[in-house]
Chain A
Amino acid sequence: MLPTPYVTCDYEKVYEPSEDSFLLLDSLEDEQLFLKDRFKNKLTVVSEFGPGTGIVLTFMMQNHIPTMGNSLYFGLDISPWAVKTTLETAKKNDCDKSYLDCIQTDLGSNLRNNQVDVLVFNPPYVPAEKVPLVPADEKDIHTWLDLALEGGKNGMVVTQRVLDNLGNILSPDGVAYILFCAQNRPEEIVKDMIDNYSWKVELVKQRKAGWEVLSVYRFSRR
């Protein structure tokens, strides 16, 4: 078991690390060797969409995933509270030596194309009538937190935007780790990505969490 970050913040504003977050940590721990081998001594650009508290990015920096001293980490969250908290969590865990920048933005819309080597995303995956509108006011913390959870139809609206754009986000050797819950119908989605868009997709980890079944899949071109 690798060490996990110390996280504390106001969970009225930012998504509290839960079973999904921990499944992602465990998945990345399992993938350590795969990633080391894939990127060897090259520079790797790591981007997390929706880092929330920053628990996943901080875990990666702490444990030198994917590589030791050779990675740039970017946290991209729509919530102003999440970007601030991600920077704070990194600091509290003495990750100041790692290269980390956080950006308030909508998914990868501001990233230069084909630069991300490792993408990590624990999306708002809960089925809901619709994805909440982005609040105009920072103080509307209730809506910012809803944005962390509510994923519209089948809980897939936000994740599907990332899947549709994956070819523009990832570098040629890039890999994406994306979390799903059973209601997202991940088997169908994965089949579509393989059959219709020629992605290579592997199930990394699956776990029952209460009444939910969560899974993490790895997407790559080869």
Chain B
Amino acid sequence: MKFLTTNFLKCSVGACDNSNDNFPLRYEGSKCQIVQDETVEFNPQFLLNILDRVDWNAIVTVARELGNQSLPVTKPQFTHQNGDANTASNLTEDELAVLQDLHVLLLQTSIAEGQMSCRNCNHIYHIKNGIPNLLLPPHLA
């Protein structure tokens, strides 16, 4: 499961929808096996669009849990980020470097094996062979 996917997964337990703690899930860094796929190509425009969309606090939280302390607490802003199609062509070298780092984290990094839990109900979910299993046992479904 790719790192960016953690930004879309909440606890499957319906009752946890009423809490603010069902997202993001809590990833157990010591129990997660991380792999990098360097063949994923860097596309700055894709990264800008992703950044536009993500919950940045959740990205920072999960990155810390997985051992990456380097992200700024506020979402990086790009001077020319105004939503038009050629935005990426106006980026400075520094900005490109920031996007390149985010590319490595969000798109090249995956959790191959591991576990995560809900901050509200503490239910534990597993990732095996890169596939998260968020099915609940019958008594919780």
Query: CB of A182 within 8 A of chain B?
Result: no
| CB neighbours of B52 from chain A (8 A) | 42-43
A104 touches B134 (CB 8 A): yes
Q: Which of B3-11, B28-36, B93-101 lies at the interface?
A: B3-11
Q: Which residues of A contact B135 (CB under 8 A)?
A: 78, 104-106, 134
Where chain A touches its partner, the secondary structure class is loop
CA distance in complex: A42, B48 (Å): 10
- B78 vs chain A, min Cβ distance (A): 15
Given contacts A43-B52, A105-B135, contact A69 B85 (CB under 8 A): no
Chain B proximity mask over A108-133: 1 for CB below 8 Å, otherwise 0: 01111101000000000000000001
Q: Does A175 contact B (CB under 8 A)?
A: no
Chain A interface size, under 10 / 10 to 19 / 20 to 34 / 35 or more: 20 to 34
| Total chain B interface residues with beta-carbon distance under 8 A | 37
A96 to B10, CA, bound (A): 26
Contacts of A78 in B (CB 8 A): 135
Partner of B4, one of A72, A105, A109, A113: A72
Query: Judging by beta carbons under 8 Å apart, are A111 and B14 in contact?
Result: no
Task: For residue B86, give the distance in angstroms from its CB to the closest CB of chain A.
Answer: 10
Q: Does A64 contact B (CB under 8 A)?
A: no
Alpha-carbon gap, A206 to B23, bound state (A):
39
B141 within 8 A of A: yes
Question: A103 near B85 (CB under 8 angstroms)?
Answer: no
A78 to B131, CA, bound (A): 12
Is B23 a contact of A103 with CB atoms below 8 Å? no
Contact partner of B23 (CB less than 8 A), chosen from A42, A72, A105, A112, is A112
B5, B17, B40, B83: which contacts A101 (Cβ < 8 A)? Answer: B5
Instruction: Please report A residues at the B interface, Cβ cutoff 8 Å.
Output: 41-43, 45, 69-70, 72, 74, 78, 80, 83-84, 87, 96-97, 99, 101-106, 109-113, 115, 133-134
